[in-house]
Structure 1
Amino acid sequence: MRLPFSSMVDIHGYFILFVISLVFIRSLISSCSWKKSWLPPSPFALPVIGHLHLLSKLPHQDLRNLSRRYGPVFRFLLGSKPCLAVSSPEMAKEILRSYEPSFLDRPRNSATVYITYGSKDFVFAPFDSYWKFMKKLVVSELLNSRTLDSLFPVRQDEINRFMNLILGKAKLGKAVDLKSELLMLTNNVITRMLLSERCSEDENEARDMGKLVPQMLEITGEFNLADYIWFCSKLDLQGIGKRIRKVRQQFDDFMERVIKEHEDENRRKDEVKDLLDILLKISQDDSIELKLTKDHIKAFIQNLFVAGTDTSALTIEWGLAELINHPRIMQKSVEEIDRVVGKTRLLEETDIQHLPYLQAIVKETLRLHPTVPILLRASTEDCTVGGFHIPAKTTVFINVWAMGRDPKNWDDPLEFRPERFLESQVDIKGQHFQILPFGTGRRMCPGTSFAMQVIQVALGAMVQCFEWKAGEKGDMTQVDMEEGPGLALSRANPLVCVPVARLDDSVIQYKM
């Protein structure tokens, strides 16, 4: 006997209700199994794009604004990818220290994977045996105190050359685009330490190489639809794939030439002059635990090039901008340098330990303007942190910029006041979680000491040797502090100043 149509509909409805009930009961049982661990709060998400509509080109600012509504820990979606925003030192400490083994990976996108030769680098490589090997190599061979001390003459020579260039502008009364010139300074320091050559020796190549680092940072920091929207995964709608292939090819051509020159010279002289020589020597050692290929070397050199140039230059630029806007602090720094160093010689690295106020200025600059405003981690397993359930494969955004400006962590947080670092024991070496410009733990930046040496000496020498008049004509008393887009925290508008020498030319003049 056939049932009437109405009965069939009733049975079908009961069946759907039964399935929904089962799903609900299963989810309820699953939630109970978390033992009071709950997912963090979240804004309303749109289909397909998730919370992309809430983020602009300045995500650190957007995430800070959202945290004011949803709390210091909340989840959001980039397309279909789950993410977690963290803006409290307490939660950052749990993730980066207490539960560090679950968050030792860094998220990778298609651009970073391609530009680093398939994650053969150190920064984005997964936390595995290769990464541990490279970390040991960095600490024991490449960036240890012995190697950095041996390369001291290179750093001092480049800073002296930089002072020479600024002096030439001062004599002519010309304005200086400090972002451009500081990038050339840090590029030359890094390339001489890595490769024993100056970027600016060949004018054409210098301009190309000088543009590579900002391009790499810009492209790898862009939001690529192919990484987050599933039906765009095979498409290059924004042209990011085409641009990243072009940039890597330029870098690859440069590195092929330099490696060949080093190999030819090493066959003749068998001497180690720079960090590339050290890497090539290790790659030829058959007794080593892991074999370094040419792609590994290129990717690692690229890491050092990117990490050591743009970020250091930006910190010096932000620091000088703050000093121009705060004449009292500028004058206090000048008086300290005159008292310790005098006016008959240039400031050197050995003077830094005797210049606590200059050190405090750099720390305060990094608090307000961390060159990497967001630390990225990726969870490798389900875990419970701070009472919240964090699923595996969640990208964690630790908002260093927001923590450095939070009134819960700092008195008068938006005020530029270096004295705060003279009055407390808070430091920037990864032990105090309200200020993490270089990260912390096992994946902390290994080049912290080197970066601080370059930043402090360059900024100190600029303050010692010149007065800085803001603007093309030197007629501005204040400069804007607007932030620009990108993976590194750059200024929206480059700092342009007219330098005026405050020491005798014979002190600043560097005879090459």
Structure 2
Amino acid sequence: MDYSTTLLWTLMVWACIHLLFLARKRSATSNGKLPPGPIPLPIVGNILKIGRKPNESLTQLAKTYGPLMTLKLGSITTVVVSSSIIAKEVLHKNDQSFSGRITVDAVRALNYHQSSIVWSQPTTRWRKLRTICNTQMFTTARLAANQGLRHKKMQDLIAHIHEYQLAGRAVDIGQATFTTTLNLTSNTVFSVDLVDPNSKSAQDFKNLVWEFMKDGARPNIVDYFPFLRRMDPQGIRHRVTANLKKLYVIFDQLIDERMLSMSSNSPRRNDFLDVLLNQKDENGFELGRHDIKPILTDIFIAGTETSSTAVEWAMAELLHNPNAMAKARFELKETIGLGQQVEESDIIRLPYLQAVVKETLRLHPPAPLFPRRTIADVEIHGFSIPKNTWAAMNVWAIGRDPDVWADPSSFFPERFLGSDIDFKGQDFELIPFGSGRRICPGLPLAFRMVHLILASFLHSFNWKLPNGMMPQDMDMNSKFGITLQLATPLLAIPTLDG
């Protein structure tokens, strides 16, 4: 018997002993009525029912057990929400009770979870960090002040795509979009480009971010059996630690350069980094470097990857549905005019483009499952949810609910024309960025970037699939991570009209 097999059997024995102890303890203290769910197996509970695409398997289970169901994931009790009605009860009426965060073991690397806005618990410090984001970073005025930088990045993107057009080469839409969102974000945060679109560093950074997110989404036995945390048997926290260190080296260099500039009384950049470095209130609250780097990680990991994923899905759906592509391009031509560059201020005048983005986010929410944890006992839909219960919002299922959406699996942007439904957290039929006090703080920036990049792609070029591929031949399957990506990277050839 080799070492890995011996270790596996040892872990299983320990798990059995530990879970038997927990089962006795729960049977003695159990109270209340949990929502229905599949009968759990000994030790593993319902883990085997999750599969490689949890959003889809949980949607199927909800058809049997209802829009609020209970699963046992190892030793962890989890409730899953799969309808807009229950989501509103959880995220609106009982938002405070569900404001805790599930701290997966991966984000414990370098204590990232303690200063992360995304992963930290709802403490006074977290509320102050949220306030900084909402009142000083992602405000309309500050984003408008940096609009010129983003305008320049869009010019760079169009010039980059034009090179492919001249050569008749296919563009990796995901890669081009990621590089652009990365530089749009880095100019908003640091007032500098982080990567050159023509350099290998863009792909390296994308790989670094994707590996970080992939490990964060990878099923981890430690999350289901917390007593194994010190062992890190799958090495996930070890890999995340290595990737975080690489990110922190980049951030440390940028922080050092900015602090040197500030000490020499150079003009302020008035970007996000300035805000963070100058943060100090009348009560002495200020941010140290160990706080700033996790916040920067939040912005780049969450904002860059989710925005680029949304644009790639939108382009894939438009190529898969040529009539919708034609309508979107016609609207841009009529509204913006030929030879003109799309501006952020144009977005409000492009209702069909906005409908395309909403329909894309309905079908392909970048984060298909977003996690909460109860910080108090709470009653939901007639059921009792104990404190410290995990809660998963199945945004993917909510966006495809046949009781809400006609022909829910079809891409049909017209359903949003004349509709007041939006994705800013108030309409629970469409909550790809969450809702309530834990809604994505970077939503205002993501809104601008997704619409601006997509509009620029469509207005500047016509697009066709490579190698004579027809729309019906496209692979529209997804792969699950923290973001829901296309299983096959989207390649498309840019051409000019005429």
Structure 1 match to 2:222: 226
Q: CA deviation at 1:289?
A: 4.2
Structure 2 match to 1:6: none
Q: CA deviation at 1:29?
A: 12
Cα distance in 1, alignment partners of residues 163 and 458 from structure 2: 16
Matched, 1:264 2:260: yes
- Give the secondary-structure state (helix, strand or coil) at the position aligned to 2:471: coil
Q: Which amino acid aligns with 2:188?
A: M
CA displacement, residues 121-169 of structure 1 (integer Å, 9 cap, x when unaligned):
1111110111111111111111111110011011111111111111100
- Give the secondary-structure state (helix, strand or coil) at the position aligned to 2:70: strand
Report if aligned partners of 2:113, 2:119 keep a CA contact under 8 Å in 1: no
Question: How does 1:6-405 map onto structure 2 within 5 Å?
Answer: 38-114=33-109, 117-201=112-196, 203=199, 205-230=201-226, 232-273=228-269, 274-282=271-279, 285=280, 287-405=282-400
Report if aligned partners of 1:49, 1:229 keep a CA contact under 8 Å in 2: no
Structure 2 match to 1:434: 429
Q: TM-score by structure 1 length?
A: 0.88
Q: Which amino acid aligns with 2:278?
A: K
Report if aligned partners of 2:372, 2:390 keep a CA contact under 8 Å in 1: yes
Structure 2 match to 1:509: none
Q: Which amino acid aligns with 1:414?
A: S
Change (3 A) 1:204 1:262: farther
Report if aligned partners of 2:369, 2:393 keep a CA contact under 8 Å in 1: yes
Cα distance in 2, alignment partners of residues 316 and 30 from structure 1: 46
Cα distance in 2, alignment partners of residues 228 and 493 from structure 1: 31
Change (3 A) 1:234 1:29: closer
Change (3 A) 1:287 1:252: same
Change (3 A) 1:341 1:388: same
Cα distance in 1, alignment partners of residues 387 and 372 from structure 2: 11
Change (3 A) 1:52 1:431: same
Q: TM-score by structure 2 length?
A: 0.91
Change (3 A) 1:28 1:226: closer
Cα distance in 2, alignment partners of residues 107 and 29 from structure 1: 23
Matched, 1:475 2:472: no
Report if aligned partners of 1:167, 1:501 keep a CA contact under 8 Å in 2: no
Change (3 A) 1:242 1:113: closer
Q: Which amino acid aligns with 1:477?
A: P
Structure 2 match to 1:4: none
Cα distance in 2, alignment partners of residues 368 and 499 from structure 1: 25
Q: Which amino acid aligns with 2:425?
A: G
- Give the secondary-structure state (helix, strand or coil) at the position aligned to 1:463: helix
Q: CA deviation at 1:271?
A: 3.1
Report if aligned partners of 2:175, 2:203 keep a CA contact under 8 Å in 1: no
Report if aligned partners of 1:48, 1:229 keep a CA contact under 8 Å in 2: no
Q: CA deviation at 1:400?
A: 0.7
Q: CA deviation at 1:115?
A: 5.2
Change (3 A) 1:490 1:30: closer
Cα distance in 1, alignment partners of residues 29 and 265 from structure 2: 71
Q: CA deviation at 1:266?
A: 1.1
Report if aligned partners of 2:368, 2:484 keep a CA contact under 8 Å in 1: yes
Cα distance in 1, alignment partners of residues 277 and 172 from structure 2: 37
Report if aligned partners of 2:107, 2:237 keep a CA contact under 8 Å in 1: no
Cα distance in 2, alignment partners of residues 30 and 499 from structure 1: 61
Structure 1 match to 2:13: none
Matched, 1:496 2:478: no
Report if aligned partners of 1:175, 1:499 keep a CA contact under 8 Å in 2: yes
Cα distance in 2, alignment partners of residues 28 and 290 from structure 1: 44
Q: Which amino acid aligns with 1:421?
A: F
Structure 2 match to 1:507: none
Change (3 A) 1:287 1:369: same
Report if aligned partners of 1:76, 1:83 keep a CA contact under 8 Å in 2: yes
Percent identity between matched residues is: 34
Cα distance in 1, alignment partners of residues 433 and 236 from structure 2: 28
Report if aligned partners of 1:138, 1:446 keep a CA contact under 8 Å in 2: yes
Report if aligned partners of 1:116, 1:299 keep a CA contact under 8 Å in 2: no
Report if aligned partners of 2:109, 2:238 keep a CA contact under 8 Å in 1: no
Change (3 A) 1:171 1:29: closer
Cα distance in 2, alignment partners of residues 261 and 27 from structure 1: 58
Q: CA deviation at 1:330?
A: 1.0
Aligned with 1:448 (options 443, 446, 462): 443
CA displacement, residues 38-68 of structure 1 (integer Å, 9 cap, x when unaligned):
2211212112211111111211111001101
Report if aligned partners of 1:272, 1:278 keep a CA contact under 8 Å in 2: no
Q: Which amino acid aligns with 1:370?
A: P
Report if aligned partners of 2:177, 2:453 keep a CA contact under 8 Å in 1: no
Q: CA deviation at 1:207?
A: 4.1
Cα distance in 1, alignment partners of residues 313 and 432 from structure 2: 14
Change (3 A) 1:266 1:427: same
Report if aligned partners of 2:103, 2:113 keep a CA contact under 8 Å in 1: no
- Give the secondary-structure state (helix, strand or coil) at the position aligned to 2:393: strand
Cα distance in 2, alignment partners of residues 432 and 209 from structure 1: 35
Q: Which amino acid aligns with 1:226?
A: V
Cα distance in 2, alignment partners of residues 301 and 53 from structure 1: 36
Q: CA deviation at 1:270?
A: 4.2
Report if aligned partners of 2:108, 2:237 keep a CA contact under 8 Å in 1: no
Q: CA deviation at 1:243?
A: 0.7
**Aligned pairs, how many?**
471
Q: CA deviation at 1:237?
A: 2.5
Report if aligned partners of 2:329, 2:459 keep a CA contact under 8 Å in 1: yes
Change (3 A) 1:355 1:115: farther
Structure showing greater Rg? 1
